[in-house]
Chains A and B, each alone.
Chain A
Amino acid sequence: AQSVTQLGSHVSVSEGALVLLRCNYSSSVPPYLFWYVQYPNQGLQLLLKYTSAATLVKGINGFEAEFKKSETSFHLTKPSAHMSDAAEYFCAVSYPRIGNTPLVFGKGTRLSVIA
């Protein structure tokens, strides 16, 4: 079954430190991959997406992610954490090349930023 695994339900970093949120997918079919952010009491906002062009994808708010087929990974990074980055982050996968497949989400990683 197509799935997404996010390692670490909670990650805590100091302000100014590197942010690394991990995501692995399982599928033999070429995926489209996404990172969404959810602030308290809000919906999901798309940070960035990989749709088979460049493997290094840059998104909003200074985030980026690299698609590594050999590792089936799509980890999210940001060089320097800001207090406003504290939120829940979800990795998701879809397979539009094979049909109208829905977004399949991981369980999420809560990012805390310590002053």
Chain B
Amino acid sequence: ETGVTQSPTHLIKTRGQQVTLRCSSQSGHNTVSWYQQALGQGPQFIFQYYREEENGRGNFPPRFSGLQFPNYSSELNVNALELDDSALYLCASSLGTSGQGDYYEQYFGPGTRLTVT
């Protein structure tokens, strides 16, 4: 069984540019969550996609957007990059969305390290 994969591994961009990060979910998983982990900090929730629809969003501006495709892979897009966007971006997939007492474990990918200069 293939785990969660992310591409690229590393990326260097210039302030003001746009970037797209990709995530392939684990087989059978229909939910993808994205997190930003700044240096020395814990991961912060950006948003979640469930069956191709956004299903929850953290405190991030609209220039952070995403997509989920019919095969449940996902993209994170960041427009107008700022220096503070430099971070490790983590993707996690799960069998479903948690709620009403149900919990579905999130499986994390290795992350994409984005550096904005």
Contacts and interface: CB of A to CB of B under 8 A. Distances in A.
Interface residues of B, number: 28
Interface string B73-86: 00000000000000
Contacts of A90: 42-43
A76 B108 CA distance: 21
Query: Which secondary structure dominates chain B's binding surface?
Result: loop
Interface stretch (A13-21, A56-64, A93-101): A93-101
Query: Which secondary structure dominates chain A's binding surface?
Result: loop
Contact of A102 (B4, B40, B56): B56
A96 B98 CA distance: 5
Interface residues of A, number: 28
Interface of A: 4, 9, 32, 36, 41-46, 49, 51, 90, 92, 94, 96-108
